[in-house]
Amino acid sequence: MMEQIAPSAEARQVYNEMVMRADDEDGQLHLTLANSIALSCTLHRRGVDSQAMTAVAELREADWIAPLEGGGWRVG
């Protein structure tokens, strides 16, 4: 039986897109709220917005992202 890789390929793709849009603040990657909204709009236009919600949950569970107090995400 094949072991499932987590996070899923879809979640890793969303993560890569988050990294590309993130700003480096003191050695930490932060995806601002504005960039989070822009990414959400991009994913919605591609028709993968429902998959993105699952991807975000997977990434949070794997501790690849964490919410920031003022909105947006800590990435990595």
Q: What predicted TM-score, i.e. pTM, was given to this entire model?
A: 0.84
Judged against a pLDDT cut of 80, whether residue 51 lies above it is answered with no
Where along the chain do its domains lie?
9-75
Q: What is the C-alpha to C-alpha distance for residues 45 and 26, in angstroms, rounded to an integer?
A: 33
The whole-number average pLDDT for the span 12-35 is: 94
Judged against a pLDDT cut of 70, whether residue 15 lies above it is answered with yes
Phi and psi (nearest 5°) for 48?
-115, 20
pLDDT digits (tens, 9 = 90+) for 53-73: 889 999 999 999 999 998 999
Amino acid 38: pLDDT: 93
